[in-house]
Amino acid sequence: MLRVGVTGGIGSGKSTVSRRLGELGAHVVDADAVAREVVEPGEPALQRIRERFGQGVVRPDGSLDRAGLAALVFPDRVALDALDAITGPAISARVAELRAAAPRSGISVYDMPLLVERGLWVHEHLSVVVETDVETRVRRLVDQRGLAEQDVRHRIAAQATDEQRRAVADVVLDNSGAPEELVRAVDDLWATRLEPYAANLVHGTRSRRPERAADVVVGPRADWEPRAERVVARLAAALAPTGVVTEVSHIGSTSVPGLLAKDVIDVQVGVHRLVDADRDDVRRALADAGFVFAHGVHSDTPHPLGSDPEDWVKRFLGGCDPENNVNVHVREKGSAGWRFALLFRDWLRHEAPEKEAYAAEKRRLLALHDTTSDYVEAKEPWFEGAWQRASDWAARTGWQPR
């Protein structure tokens, strides 16, 4: 099941996006609806709210005065945190129950205003942020919902900023135009990314890069690092319960600023023991996060030539997101392959002439090879010399893996 988190500031239009996704066939869970449900009369959370904030937040009929409570908590960070501590666990439990009822082959959408603030985006395969400028949101909420302007501004100030949301957004939907423009953007997202991603998860199919080298090797892209940070965070969150991981790192050419590269994010997962990657719970965690094991035995080319190949064995996975090609290399911490992945990245980051030499070699090979597979294989001889120069640099500078 593909998990999609939809979020945005109050008045941004995220509910419009979620509603349209529901019309297209997604199973939608609305956090606001759940939040209302868990504070209905007779619910334990309502009693705790009464005890914390006083009888004044409860109406004569026993229901919660939501507007009165909002006026108390949104201007007061301590009060807001206290309310979250009361309602959060009840909301989480109910949301988990509702999402578990979604078809395993479908798309589960979680409409959650605080997806970023609570760090919940790491558990979604994709996070979709709906964005509208603050003044437009204020005007909408005052004119359409009848809220007081000061109340609206308090609520906006209590939420994440646009910059914080963008940092974790796989998709940003601009809702500054006409409503039909937002609907068209949602329809396009559904057809080009969500449905293919969901199908890949069902069939255990990883996304593939184009085989024509010229189509996949590109100049430096500003989105490589943010994309990698999201992959790293999701992998770390998925594998944390297993206890096998020592670190998760962005590696490869996309981790070196200013270097042309295949538009593929490479991530290394360091584990205490490589055999831990074969455990059932680890494989389930990786599959649930959207990463598929490649079949067969995988090993990097040993350096220097003639070294023990066992020190270069790894497990290899690919991501299922059709719009974000990801390679995951699982290596044992302390192994030669694990160390070189980190060393090569840091060496190129610090040694500009070596980065330029590698870029020149890439351009030379691109002129000689049409397919990505041939291009990748042709780089191997260059790596032998690079390994020696990087090792000399590490000895000279005292570099150690971090």
List, as residue ranges, the binding site for ATP: 11-16
Could you give the angle at the alpha carbon of 284 between the alpha carbons of 168 and 272, nearest 5°? 85
Unique residue bearing structure tokens 């790192």: 249
Q: Which is nearest to 267 in space by CA: 313, 223, 329, 222?
A: 329
End-to-end C-alpha distance for the chain, whole angstroms: 35
C-alpha torsion 373→375→381→382, nearest 10: -140
Question: Tokens standing for 377?
Answer: 């294989």
CB 14 within 8 A of CB 111: yes
Query: Three-state secondary structure along 236-299?
Result: HHHHHHHCCEEEEEEECHHHCCCCCEECCEEEEEEECCHHHHHCHHHHHHHHHCCEEECCCCEE
Annotated binding site: 11-16
Query: Token pair of 323, please?
Result: 């719009």
Beta-carbon count within 10 A of 330 CB? 28
Half-sphere exposure of 395 (CA within 13 A, CB side): 6
Q: How far apart are CA 17 and CA 345, in angstroms?
A: 40
Q: How far apart are CA 52 and CA 79, in angstroms?
A: 9
Q: Where does 83-208 show beta strands of DSSP type E?
A: 107-111, 126-131, 171-174
Q: DSSP 3-state assignment of 229?
A: helix
